[in-house]
Amino acid sequence: GAVVSQHPSWVICKSGTSVKIECRSLDFQATTMFWYRQFPKQSLMLMATSNEGSKATYEQGVEKDKFLINHASLTLSTLTVTSAHPEDSSFYICSANLREASTGELFFGEGSRLTVL
């Protein structure tokens, strides 16, 4: 099956620093990747849709200047949390769809846990 890998799986950083999280589709090309945020014991909230070669589409309420998304190739999307603060601590999950697949063929990464001190 299709594999989506995230790196790092967990990261601890100081307040004010920036953190980059990578999402890679290992054995398929993904024209679209999605970034979700999950608070403890809560559901996943879609943050943005990342399209290869174009600007990301952010959901309402998500600060695009704080959560920078880059989708430079068909196998890699990155999420950079800029000037991180403790309230940004969360579990971030990406997903990708198979380029040639129909709606719903989404594959999720293992998630990246960010802790901001």
Partner 1 sequence: AQSVTQPDIHITVSEGASLELRCNYSYGATPYLFWYVQSPGQGLQLLLKYFSGDTLVQGIKGFEAEFKRSQSSFNLRKPSVHWSDAAEYFCAVAPRGGGNKLTFGTGTQLKVEL
The site for partner 1 (CB under 8 A) is made up of 4, 6, 32, 34, 41-46, 49, 91, 93, 95, 97, 102-111, 113
Nearer to partner 1, 82 or 111 (CB): 111
Minimum separation from the CB atom of position 82 to partner 1 (A): 24
**Residue 50: C-alpha distances to residues 11, 96, 97 (Å):** 22, 9, 11
Nearer to partner 1, 109 or 116 (CB): 109
Minimum separation from the CB atom of position 34 to partner 1 (A): 7
Nearer to partner 1, 70 or 108 (CB): 108
Minimum separation from the CB atom of position 83 to partner 1 (A): 26
Bond before 8 cis per omega within 30 degrees: yes
Minimum separation from the CB atom of position 29 to partner 1 (A): 15
Instruction: Output helix, strand, coil percentages for the chain, rounded to the nearest 5.
Output: 5, 50, 45
The letter for the amino acid at 115 is: T
DSSP string, 28-85: S--SEEEEEEE-TTS-EEEEEEEETTS--EEPTT--TTTEEEEEEETTEEEEEE-S--
Nearer to partner 1, 6 or 88 (CB): 6
